[in-house]
Amino acid sequence: MSKYTEMAYDDPEEMIFGEAKEPVTYGHGPQITAGGGQVFGVTKIAPRPGAEARPEKLKTEFRKITKTILQRAVTLGFPTQEIENEWVHQMGENPVEYAQGPAIQNQAAIAEEFAEEHGIATATTHTIPDLRVSEKGLRHGQDRESFYPEKVIGSFEIAAENGADVLKIESSGGMELADYGIQRGDIKAFLFGIGYLGSIDMEWLWSQIVDIAEKNNVVPGGDTNCPAANTAMFIAGGYLDQDIARTFSAITRAICAGRTIVAWEQGATGPDKDCGYEGPIVKAIAGKPTVQEGKDCSVAHADLMGNLAAQVCDGWSNESAEFHEEFSGWSSGTWAEAVGYEVSLMNTAKELGEDKTLRDIYMASDRYRSPESFIIAYDNAYKIGEAMVEEGDSYYRRSKAAALKAAELIEEANEKGELQLSSHEKDTLDSIVTDLRALPEEEDKFVEECLNEYGDLPKFDPKNYGL
């Protein structure tokens, strides 16, 4: 598969929520068209602890979750409702018993029923858990104890064959190096783990997911670097936290864009995974639809870009919330309502011709709140995308280029007094730039250096990446 060497958009001003260069249609009833002119809502609700004890109990839980989401959407007059399921561990371990009937078929039937009875566009997305463990092996035939690589691919097959509309995953290739890099502030280790090894793993994984999706006429959506860049972002935290500099976290976000876009290079169509905050960068390059999350993630984590994340989204989502009762009913309904009204605001802005005004308000609200939000403001995301496509034929060089461009943008904004950095954040940024500029130009030489430097890490096995 070819790599992206050109931008989908001629100018960042073209980017807007609800519109993508390559829209994708799926689902029941009137159907959802991601990127086709309207933003759609995505609601994620997790079963209560203990619901996974038996398949029948899980089936009852998913039935309640699905119906209460769709009932609230119909009650409030929302025209679209996508339901995403991030599988719990048991579903990935035994997808035939715990996922096929209890979740996939069960939810697809309810989604179709609501679409027929109420005329609402519905769809179900299934996010398969990446159970693979680097010490046991990431590829087929390597894990002879748990067979996780085979179970992950098998889960996609079961989801595609039994009613899923969209397939996604939060894949974890390269995490053993990313964890090491985050813990030690070692940007080279993170670049090797996510920018290079993670991209190789994405190539292996997504070529198979796309084949499964095409065989079953379902949508291969996309991925996210939630396990690595989001980990850095969450540890970096907010203004009270000091464990990791937010400048380090911002650079990891830029690096991971080079990895996340591999899914689309392998034939996935979008929309990608909501917790991929790198979405604006990869959308600028590929023009495919992106689902984003921000302020409606407060149930799971604090966020320094709660409004900005909506600026160019095509689908808007909450973060996974536990299913339980609230004063207004089930939590599934409350989150469907919160997400639905935000979507309604965006679509009304479109009807009034004020969508770019709202986009810029979202963006301006958080632009200077943190280095992480600053680099994914749509104009800066576009500049990082441009740096990436200039080095598009190399996983290593394009991730390094993204990192250096992000650092340059942060430095400029800080020098102008627009983006405030603490001395710790500024020193960390200076150190990152020094380290990145000292790296070799040639990919082969970089890989050789990294294998010598990190080859003895306990969880790292080059065979997982064909090295």
- Relative to beta strand 32-36, strand 19-26 is antiparallel
Q: CA 276, CA 262: separation in Å to the nearest integer?
A: 13
CA atoms within 13 A on the CB side of 133: 9
Work out the mean pLDDT of the chain and round it to a whole number: 97
Q: CA 215, CA 448: separation in Å to the nearest integer?
A: 39
According to the model, what pLDDT value does residue 303 have? 86
The band of 244, judged by pLDDT with boundaries at 50, 70 and 90, is: very high
- Smallest Cα–Cα separation from 139: which of 148, 149, 127? 149
Convert the pLDDT of each residue in 282-303 to its tens digit: 999 999 999 999 999 999 988 8
According to the model, what pLDDT value does residue 341 have? 98
According to the model, what pLDDT value does residue 439 have? 98
The band of 1, judged by pLDDT with boundaries at 50, 70 and 90, is: confident
Convert the pLDDT of each residue in 378-435 to its tens digit: 999 999 999 999 998 999 999 999 999 999 999 999 999 999 999 999 999 999 999 9
Residue with tokens 């340059």, as numbered in its chain: 408
Contact, 65 vs 72, CB < 8 A? Answer: no
Contact, 425 vs 247, CB < 8 A? Answer: yes
- Smallest Cα–Cα separation from 250: which of 363, 419, 403, 367? 403
Q: CA 375, CA 56: separation in Å to the nearest integer?
A: 46
Convert the pLDDT of each residue in 252-273 to its tens digit: 999 999 999 999 999 999 999 9
Convert the pLDDT of each residue in 24-64 to its tens digit: 999 999 999 999 999 999 999 999 999 999 999 999 999 99
The DSSP output letter for 465 is G
- Strand, helix or coil at 22? strand
Q: CA 288, CA 294: separation in Å to the nearest integer?
A: 19
pTM tops 0.75, yes or no: yes
- Smallest Cα–Cα separation from 105: which of 159, 150, 174, 149? 159
Convert the pLDDT of each residue in 311-346 to its tens digit: 999 999 999 999 999 999 999 999 999 999 999 999
Tokens of 395: 């996983």
Convert the pLDDT of each residue in 154-188 to its tens digit: 999 999 999 999 999 999 999 999 999 999 999 99
The band of 242, judged by pLDDT with boundaries at 50, 70 and 90, is: confident
